[in-house]
Protein backbone atom coordinates (compact mmCIF):
# COMPACT_ATOMS: atom_id res chain seq x y z
CA UNK A 1 0.00 0.00 0.00
CA UNK A 2 3.01 2.31 0.30
CA UNK A 3 3.01 2.71 -3.46
CA UNK A 4 -0.51 4.06 -3.56
CA UNK A 5 -1.08 7.76 -3.81
CA UNK A 6 -2.23 9.76 -0.80
CA UNK A 7 -5.40 10.66 -2.66
CA UNK A 8 -6.25 7.01 -3.23
CA UNK A 9 -5.48 6.20 0.41
CA UNK A 10 -7.94 8.87 1.53
CA UNK A 11 -10.62 7.57 -0.80
CA UNK A 12 -9.92 4.02 0.38
CA UNK A 13 -10.45 5.04 4.00
CA UNK A 14 -13.73 6.76 3.09
CA UNK A 15 -14.72 3.64 1.14
CA UNK A 16 -14.28 1.35 4.12
CA UNK A 17 -16.01 3.94 6.31
CA UNK A 18 -19.01 4.01 3.95
CA UNK A 19 -18.63 7.73 3.26
CA UNK A 20 -18.55 7.54 -0.56
CA UNK A 21 -21.42 7.81 -3.00
CA UNK A 22 -22.38 4.73 -4.98
CA UNK A 23 -20.60 6.09 -8.08
CA UNK A 24 -17.42 6.92 -6.16
CA UNK A 25 -17.49 3.57 -4.35
CA UNK A 26 -17.83 1.72 -7.66
CA UNK A 27 -14.82 3.61 -9.02
CA UNK A 28 -12.71 2.65 -5.97
CA UNK A 29 -13.73 -1.00 -6.36
CA UNK A 30 -12.61 -0.96 -9.99
CA UNK A 31 -9.27 0.52 -8.96
CA UNK A 32 -8.84 -2.15 -6.26
CA UNK A 33 -9.60 -4.86 -8.82
CA UNK A 34 -7.10 -3.36 -11.24
CA UNK A 35 -4.44 -3.18 -8.53
CA UNK A 36 -5.10 -6.78 -7.55
CA UNK A 37 -4.82 -7.86 -11.18
CA UNK A 38 -1.43 -6.16 -11.46
CA UNK A 39 -0.37 -7.73 -8.19
CA UNK A 40 -1.34 -11.21 -9.42
CA UNK A 41 0.75 -10.71 -12.53
CA UNK A 42 3.67 -9.58 -10.42
CA UNK A 43 3.32 -12.52 -8.05
CA UNK A 44 3.26 -15.02 -10.91
CA UNK A 45 6.22 -13.41 -12.62
CA UNK A 46 8.40 -12.81 -9.62
CA UNK A 47 7.12 -15.36 -7.04
CA UNK A 48 10.63 -16.51 -6.25
CA UNK A 49 12.19 -13.06 -6.30
CA UNK A 50 11.91 -10.26 -3.88
CA UNK A 51 11.59 -6.79 -5.45
CA UNK A 52 11.96 -3.54 -3.63
CA UNK A 53 8.73 -1.48 -3.34
CA UNK A 54 10.12 1.20 -5.67
CA UNK A 55 10.70 -1.36 -8.41
CA UNK A 56 7.18 -2.68 -8.07
CA UNK A 57 5.79 0.84 -8.45
CA UNK A 58 7.86 1.43 -11.55
CA UNK A 59 6.62 -1.78 -13.14
CA UNK A 60 3.04 -0.89 -12.31
CA UNK A 61 3.40 2.55 -13.86
CA UNK A 62 4.93 1.03 -17.00
CA UNK A 63 2.06 -1.43 -17.27
CA UNK A 64 -0.45 1.36 -16.80
CA UNK A 65 1.15 3.35 -19.63
CA UNK A 66 1.00 0.30 -21.87
CA UNK A 67 -2.69 -0.08 -21.08
CA UNK A 68 -3.37 3.55 -21.98
CA UNK A 69 -1.45 3.22 -25.24
CA UNK A 70 -3.44 0.12 -26.06
CA UNK A 71 -6.71 2.00 -25.51
CA UNK A 72 -5.47 4.90 -27.69
CA UNK A 73 -4.49 2.44 -30.40
CA UNK A 74 -7.96 0.90 -30.38
CA UNK A 75 -9.58 4.37 -30.60
CA UNK A 76 -7.38 5.36 -33.57
CA UNK A 77 -8.12 2.07 -35.29
CA UNK A 78 -11.85 2.57 -34.82
CA UNK A 79 -11.63 6.12 -36.21
CA UNK A 80 -9.68 4.91 -39.23
CA UNK A 81 -12.39 2.35 -39.85
CA UNK A 82 -15.20 4.90 -39.43
CA UNK A 83 -13.70 7.63 -41.68
CA UNK A 84 -14.02 5.68 -44.98
CA UNK A 85 -17.62 4.86 -44.05
CA UNK A 86 -18.35 8.56 -43.46
CA UNK A 87 -16.69 9.49 -46.76
CA UNK A 88 -18.89 6.98 -48.55
CA UNK A 89 -21.81 8.68 -46.81
CA UNK A 90 -20.61 12.03 -48.21
CA UNK A 91 -20.47 10.63 -51.75
CA UNK A 92 -23.97 9.23 -51.35
CA UNK A 93 -25.28 12.53 -49.89
CA UNK A 94 -23.91 14.73 -52.68
CA UNK A 95 -24.69 12.20 -55.38
CA UNK A 96 -28.30 11.80 -54.28
CA UNK A 97 -30.71 13.53 -56.72
CA UNK A 98 -27.64 15.16 -58.30
CA UNK A 99 -27.18 17.44 -55.29
CA UNK A 100 -23.55 18.24 -56.21
CA UNK A 101 -24.46 19.29 -59.76
CA UNK A 102 -27.27 21.48 -58.45
CA UNK A 103 -24.93 23.24 -56.02
CA UNK A 104 -22.49 23.91 -58.86
CA UNK A 105 -25.35 25.28 -61.01
CA UNK A 106 -26.50 27.52 -58.16
CA UNK A 107 -22.97 28.89 -57.77
CA UNK A 108 -22.37 29.98 -61.36
CA UNK A 109 -25.98 30.91 -62.15
CA UNK A 110 -25.88 33.37 -59.25
CA UNK A 111 -22.79 34.98 -60.78
CA UNK A 112 -24.39 35.47 -64.20
CA UNK A 113 -27.53 37.04 -62.74
CA UNK A 114 -26.13 39.25 -59.97
CA UNK A 115 -22.67 40.22 -61.28
CA UNK A 116 -22.84 42.69 -64.21
CA UNK A 117 -20.56 41.69 -67.09
CA UNK A 118 -19.29 38.59 -65.29
CA UNK A 119 -18.99 35.11 -66.72
CA UNK A 120 -17.69 31.77 -65.50
CA UNK A 121 -15.63 29.20 -67.33
CA UNK A 122 -18.04 26.37 -66.56
CA UNK A 123 -15.86 23.81 -68.32
CA UNK A 124 -13.07 24.43 -65.79
CA UNK A 125 -15.13 24.61 -62.61
CA UNK A 126 -13.49 22.42 -59.99
CA UNK A 127 -14.80 20.98 -56.77
CA UNK A 128 -13.44 19.23 -53.72
CA UNK A 129 -15.48 16.71 -51.75
CA UNK A 130 -14.75 16.39 -48.04
CA UNK A 131 -16.49 14.96 -45.01
CA UNK A 132 -19.99 16.27 -45.78
CA UNK A 133 -18.36 19.36 -47.32
CA UNK A 134 -18.34 20.42 -50.96
CA UNK A 135 -16.15 23.30 -52.15
CA UNK A 136 -16.74 24.83 -55.59
CA UNK A 137 -13.84 26.67 -57.31
CA UNK A 138 -14.75 29.13 -60.10
CA UNK A 139 -12.72 31.49 -62.28
CA UNK A 140 -14.61 34.69 -63.10
CA UNK A 141 -14.08 36.71 -66.27
CA UNK A 142 -15.36 39.93 -67.81
CA UNK A 143 -15.15 41.51 -71.22
CA UNK A 144 -13.39 44.83 -71.82
CA UNK A 145 -13.29 45.85 -75.46
CA UNK A 146 -12.98 42.66 -77.44
CA UNK A 147 -10.82 40.91 -74.84
CA UNK A 148 -11.95 38.60 -72.08
CA UNK A 149 -9.97 39.24 -68.91
CA UNK A 150 -9.84 37.25 -65.72
CA UNK A 151 -11.24 39.22 -62.82
CA UNK A 152 -10.57 36.71 -60.06
CA UNK A 153 -11.46 33.45 -58.36
CA UNK A 154 -14.34 32.51 -56.10
CA UNK A 155 -14.37 29.58 -53.72
CA UNK A 156 -17.86 28.64 -52.51
CA UNK A 157 -17.67 26.27 -49.54
CA UNK A 158 -20.78 24.20 -48.81
CA UNK A 159 -21.38 22.40 -45.51
CA UNK A 160 -23.97 19.81 -46.39
CA UNK A 161 -26.02 21.91 -48.84
CA UNK A 162 -25.60 25.28 -47.10
CA UNK A 163 -22.86 27.62 -48.36
CA UNK A 164 -20.56 29.62 -46.16
CA UNK A 165 -19.54 33.13 -47.20
CA UNK A 166 -17.49 32.74 -50.43
CA UNK A 167 -13.79 33.50 -50.54
CA UNK A 168 -13.27 36.04 -53.33
CA UNK A 169 -9.83 36.82 -54.73
CA UNK A 170 -9.76 39.52 -57.41
CA UNK A 171 -6.97 40.39 -59.83
CA UNK A 172 -8.58 43.38 -61.58
CA UNK A 173 -7.82 47.06 -60.97
CA UNK A 174 -11.22 47.89 -59.47
CA UNK A 175 -12.45 44.93 -57.41
CA UNK A 176 -16.06 45.24 -56.26
CA UNK A 177 -17.09 45.68 -52.65
CA UNK A 178 -17.90 42.50 -50.74
CA UNK A 179 -21.35 43.77 -49.79
CA UNK A 180 -21.98 47.17 -51.44
CA UNK A 181 -24.07 49.81 -49.77
CA UNK A 182 -27.04 51.13 -51.77
CA UNK A 183 -25.17 54.39 -52.45
CA UNK A 184 -22.24 52.44 -53.94
CA UNK A 185 -24.26 51.16 -56.86
CA UNK A 186 -22.85 51.10 -60.34
CA UNK A 187 -26.29 51.11 -61.95
CA UNK A 188 -29.20 53.40 -61.01
CA UNK A 189 -32.89 52.90 -61.64
CA UNK A 190 -34.62 55.99 -63.15
CA UNK A 191 -36.58 56.45 -59.90
CA UNK A 192 -33.50 56.16 -57.67
CA UNK A 193 -31.89 59.24 -56.20
CA UNK A 194 -28.62 60.32 -57.79
CA UNK A 195 -26.19 62.80 -56.27
CA UNK A 196 -23.64 64.87 -58.18
CA UNK A 197 -20.78 62.77 -56.78
CA UNK A 198 -22.43 59.67 -58.17
CA UNK A 199 -22.69 61.25 -61.61
CA UNK A 200 -18.97 61.88 -62.09
CA UNK A 201 -18.24 59.03 -64.49
CA UNK A 202 -17.98 61.38 -67.46
CA UNK A 203 -14.87 63.08 -66.06
CA UNK A 204 -13.13 59.73 -65.69
CA UNK A 205 -14.04 58.69 -69.20
CA UNK A 206 -13.00 62.04 -70.64
CA UNK A 207 -9.54 61.78 -69.12
CA UNK A 208 -8.82 58.37 -70.62
CA UNK A 209 -6.28 58.56 -73.45
CA UNK A 210 -6.82 57.63 -77.07
CA UNK A 211 -6.10 54.02 -77.79
CA UNK A 212 -7.94 52.64 -74.76
CA UNK A 213 -11.11 50.62 -74.42
CA UNK A 214 -13.37 50.76 -71.40
CA UNK A 215 -16.16 49.01 -69.56
CA UNK A 216 -18.95 51.46 -68.73
CA UNK A 217 -22.03 51.02 -66.53
CA UNK A 218 -24.85 52.95 -68.21
CA UNK A 219 -27.99 54.07 -66.34
CA UNK A 220 -30.93 55.26 -68.42
CA UNK A 221 -33.49 58.02 -67.91
CA UNK A 222 -36.33 55.52 -68.21
CA UNK A 223 -36.90 51.82 -68.53
CA UNK A 224 -37.13 50.48 -72.07
CA UNK A 225 -37.88 47.05 -73.57
CA UNK A 226 -34.70 45.04 -73.98
CA UNK A 227 -35.07 44.84 -77.74
CA UNK A 228 -34.95 48.67 -77.94
CA UNK A 229 -31.65 49.05 -76.11
CA UNK A 230 -29.54 48.98 -79.25
CA UNK A 231 -30.87 52.37 -80.32
CA UNK A 232 -29.12 53.88 -77.27
CA UNK A 233 -25.74 53.01 -78.78
CA UNK A 234 -26.85 53.03 -82.40
CA UNK A 235 -24.67 56.01 -83.37
CA UNK A 236 -21.46 54.93 -81.62
CA UNK A 237 -18.99 52.11 -82.04
CA UNK A 238 -19.84 50.08 -78.93
CA UNK A 239 -21.80 47.04 -77.81
CA UNK A 240 -23.94 45.94 -74.91
CA UNK A 241 -22.52 43.25 -72.63
CA UNK A 242 -25.12 42.91 -69.86
CA UNK A 243 -28.68 44.17 -69.30
CA UNK A 244 -29.94 45.43 -65.92
CA UNK A 245 -33.59 44.40 -65.69
CA UNK A 246 -36.30 46.36 -63.87
CA UNK A 247 -37.82 44.01 -61.27
CA UNK A 248 -39.99 46.49 -59.38
CA UNK A 249 -37.57 46.71 -56.44
CA UNK A 250 -34.58 48.39 -58.05
CA UNK A 251 -35.44 52.02 -57.28
CA UNK A 252 -34.70 51.59 -53.56
CA UNK A 253 -32.11 48.84 -54.13
CA UNK A 254 -32.81 47.38 -50.71
CA UNK A 255 -34.76 44.41 -49.45
CA UNK A 256 -37.51 44.23 -46.86
CA UNK A 257 -34.98 44.65 -44.03
CA UNK A 258 -32.95 47.39 -45.80
CA UNK A 259 -30.10 45.08 -46.78
CA UNK A 260 -28.41 45.63 -50.12
CA UNK A 261 -30.48 44.28 -53.00
CA UNK A 262 -28.33 43.90 -56.13
CA UNK A 263 -29.43 44.56 -59.69
CA UNK A 264 -30.21 41.41 -61.60
CA UNK A 265 -29.92 40.86 -65.30
CA UNK A 266 -28.38 38.69 -67.98
CA UNK A 267 -25.72 38.75 -70.71
CA UNK A 268 -26.50 40.59 -73.92
CA UNK A 269 -24.26 38.27 -75.92
CA UNK A 270 -24.79 34.57 -76.53
CA UNK A 271 -22.06 32.44 -74.98
CA UNK A 272 -20.69 29.05 -75.91
CA UNK A 273 -22.34 25.73 -75.28
CA UNK A 274 -20.84 25.59 -71.77
CA UNK A 275 -22.56 28.84 -70.79
CA UNK A 276 -26.11 28.87 -69.40
CA UNK A 277 -26.71 31.53 -72.09
CA UNK A 278 -26.02 29.43 -75.16
CA UNK A 279 -27.61 28.92 -78.54
CA UNK A 280 -30.29 26.52 -77.29
CA UNK A 281 -32.76 29.32 -76.45
CA UNK A 282 -32.92 33.14 -76.42
CA UNK A 283 -31.11 34.75 -73.52
CA UNK A 284 -34.27 36.27 -72.05
CA UNK A 285 -35.92 32.84 -71.83
CA UNK A 286 -32.84 31.33 -70.22
CA UNK A 287 -32.74 34.26 -67.79
CA UNK A 288 -36.26 33.49 -66.57
CA UNK A 289 -35.41 29.80 -66.29
CA UNK A 290 -32.35 30.65 -64.20
CA UNK A 291 -34.38 32.88 -61.90
CA UNK A 292 -36.94 30.16 -61.27
CA UNK A 293 -34.20 27.62 -60.64
CA UNK A 294 -32.45 29.94 -58.16
CA UNK A 295 -35.75 30.67 -56.43
CA UNK A 296 -35.68 27.04 -55.26
CA UNK A 297 -32.25 27.70 -53.72
CA UNK A 298 -32.70 31.34 -52.73
CA UNK A 299 -31.03 30.95 -49.33
CA UNK A 300 -27.92 29.52 -50.98
CA UNK A 301 -27.94 32.04 -53.84
CA UNK A 302 -28.24 34.96 -51.42
CA UNK A 303 -25.23 33.76 -49.45
CA UNK A 304 -23.19 33.35 -52.65
CA UNK A 305 -24.18 36.73 -54.13
CA UNK A 306 -22.72 40.03 -52.96
CA UNK A 307 -26.11 40.80 -51.46
CA UNK A 308 -28.23 40.67 -48.36
CA UNK A 309 -31.46 39.91 -50.19
CA UNK A 310 -32.57 38.69 -53.61
CA UNK A 311 -36.38 38.60 -53.24
CA UNK A 312 -36.62 36.27 -56.23
CA UNK A 313 -40.27 35.22 -55.90
CA UNK A 314 -41.43 38.84 -55.84
CA UNK A 315 -39.17 39.80 -58.73
CA UNK A 316 -40.23 36.82 -60.84
CA UNK A 317 -43.90 37.71 -60.31
CA UNK A 318 -43.20 41.29 -61.40
CA UNK A 319 -41.37 40.16 -64.55
CA UNK A 320 -44.08 37.71 -65.52
CA UNK A 321 -46.66 40.48 -65.26
CA UNK A 322 -44.68 43.36 -66.80
CA UNK A 323 -42.18 41.70 -69.13
CA UNK A 324 -38.47 42.41 -69.43
CA UNK A 325 -37.59 46.09 -69.42
CA UNK A 326 -34.09 47.39 -68.83
CA UNK A 327 -32.95 50.49 -67.01
CA UNK A 328 -29.35 50.21 -68.16
CA UNK A 329 -26.49 47.78 -68.27
CA UNK A 330 -22.85 47.41 -69.22
CA UNK A 331 -21.40 48.69 -72.50
CA UNK A 332 -17.88 48.40 -73.87
CA UNK A 333 -15.98 50.04 -76.70
CA UNK A 334 -13.28 52.64 -77.39
CA UNK A 335 -13.14 55.19 -74.59
CA UNK A 336 -13.64 58.18 -76.89
CA UNK A 337 -16.60 56.54 -78.59
CA UNK A 338 -18.26 55.85 -75.24
CA UNK A 339 -17.81 59.51 -74.32
CA UNK A 340 -20.36 60.33 -77.03
CA UNK A 341 -23.06 58.84 -74.79
CA UNK A 342 -22.96 62.12 -72.85
CA UNK A 343 -24.94 63.72 -75.70
CA UNK A 344 -27.58 60.99 -75.63
CA UNK A 345 -30.83 62.09 -73.95
CA UNK A 346 -31.60 58.50 -72.97
CA UNK A 347 -28.50 58.24 -70.77
CA UNK A 348 -28.82 59.47 -67.21
CA UNK A 349 -25.42 58.57 -65.72
CA UNK A 350 -22.40 56.36 -66.24
CA UNK A 351 -19.75 54.76 -64.06
CA UNK A 352 -16.44 53.72 -65.62
CA UNK A 353 -15.21 50.23 -64.83
CA UNK A 354 -12.13 48.44 -66.16
CA UNK A 355 -9.92 50.07 -68.80
CA UNK A 356 -7.46 48.36 -71.13
CA UNK A 357 -5.18 49.23 -74.01
CA UNK A 358 -6.61 49.07 -77.50
CA UNK A 359 -8.05 45.69 -78.45
CA UNK A 360 -11.08 46.78 -80.54
* CA max distance for the chain: 112
Query: Rounded to an integer, what distance in angstroms lies between the CA atom of residue 199 and that of residue 203?
Result: 9
Q: In the chain, where are the structural domains located?
A: 6-90, 99-357
Question: How confident is the model at residue 301, as a pLDDT?
Answer: 93
**Secondary structure (H, E, C), 291-325:** HHHHHCCHHHHHHHCCCCCCCHHHHHHHHHHHCCE
Digit-coded pLDDT (tens) for 41-97: 556 655 545 555 555 556 556 555 665 656 676 566 665 566 566 556 565 656 655
DSSP characters for 332-359? EEEHHHHGGGGG-TTEEEEEEEEEEE--
Dihedral in degrees, nearest 10, Cα atoms 315, 316, 318, 320: 160
Query: Rounded to an integer, what distance in angstroms lies between the CA atom of residue 175 and that of residue 312?
Result: 26
Q: How many other CB atoms sit within 10 Å of the CB of residue 223?
A: 19
| Cβ-proximal residues to 218 (8 Å cutoff; 6+ apart), any chain | 187, 232, 328, 329, 330, 331, 341, 347, 350
Query: Rounded to an integer, what distance in angstroms lies between the CA atom of residue 357 and that of residue 212?
Result: 4
Nearest to 304 by CA among 164, 182, 204, 102: 164
Question: How confident is the model at residue 164, as a pLDDT?
Answer: 83
Q: Which helix (H) or strand (E) holds 329?
A: strand 325-334
Do 304 and 126 form a contact (C-beta atoms < 8 A)? no
Q: How many CA atoms lie within 13 A of 318 on its CB side?
A: 14
What CA–CA distances, in Å, run from 119 to 116, 123, 238, 296, 343? 9, 12, 19, 22, 31
What CA–CA distances, in Å, run from 73 to 68, 70, 76, 262? 9, 5, 5, 54
Terminal CA-CA length for the chain: 94
Digit-coded pLDDT (tens) for 290-302: 999 999 999 999 9
Dihedral in degrees, nearest 10, Cα atoms 41, 47, 53, 57: -20
Q: Is 171 in a helix, a strand, or coil?
A: coil
Query: Rounded to an integer, what distance in angstroms lies between the CA atom of residue 319 and that of residue 96?
Result: 33
Exposure b/e, 102-134, CB count within 10 A at least 16 = b: bbbbbbbbbbbbbbbbbbbbbeebebeeeeeeb
| Cβ-proximal residues to 278 (8 Å cutoff; 6+ apart), any chain | 270, 271, 272, 286
Residues of the chain with pLDDT under 70: 1-5, 15-17, 25, 28-29, 33-71, 73-97, 132, 182-183, 195-200, 253-259, 271-275
Question: How confident is the model at residue 2, as a pLDDT?
Answer: 46
Query: Rounded to an integer, what distance in angstroms lies between the CA atom of residue 87 and that of residue 82?
Result: 9
Amino acid sequence: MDTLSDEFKQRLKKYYAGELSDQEAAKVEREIQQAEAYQDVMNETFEHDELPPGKVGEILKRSSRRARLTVIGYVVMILLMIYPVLMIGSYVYYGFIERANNLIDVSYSTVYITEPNASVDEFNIEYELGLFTFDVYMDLYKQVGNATIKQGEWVVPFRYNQPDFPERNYTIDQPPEEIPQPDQRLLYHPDAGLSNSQNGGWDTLENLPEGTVAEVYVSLERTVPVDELNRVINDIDAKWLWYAIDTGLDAEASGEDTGYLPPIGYPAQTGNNWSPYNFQAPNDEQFMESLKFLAEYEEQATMIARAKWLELDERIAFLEENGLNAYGGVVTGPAKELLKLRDNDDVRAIRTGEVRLWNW
